Structure 1
């Protein structure tokens, strides 16, 4: 399905939210389950009018996961059609720095998974590319 040439691009932003396992320092990624779509994805959402993309990405992380995050490198931007409209989603690597998940109307579950398990759980193939891009942006575990 193609969109009309004058369709405005839906601007969105999100994060590949990560933390180190307290048990062994291994990398864990946070995925969110959205009951409306019954899918697993990285936390993301539409930007508010005139909202800075990084600020919007961190806001979405907080709203969907309950976690604050320290942003890192920007990851590849995704472009696709959503409901027949072009959508652009900018992503950042972001380390979880605190907080606690509470189910809400948008997200009913979160999972912290190693990268291979996260890739297997993600619903959209395009989201798996972000998992592949993340390690190059991280400093080695201590």
Structure 2
């Protein structure tokens, strides 16, 4: 598993923990930062995981609006918490991190869904992220 894949999974752990514990993403990020400082053997995945979570926090309203606007079958608050986290990471990477190709962000999200969520989640995640991407492409073409 690549360092970035590990970081995505670690970022998902932070976002998921915040969601299920009912704490803010900022609180979960701070707690993970303390754990990271105490576990230097995991240091390689921490910087990018921190960047992802901070990016999701910084763009939370826009990210959640994109997910909500494109999810015709599930309101954001009804999605499994792991799927919400996966989608937030992929949207942040595809929209706000120019270092990550959109296809890579989608593929990584689908792989996380296969590994960690329900049998239906990979198809749902792929379809939703593809719809968000297509709308972004259309908007760029109109400009």
Per the normalisation by structure 2, the TM-score is 0.34
Give the structure with the larger helix fraction: 2
TM-score (ref. length: structure 1) = 0.35
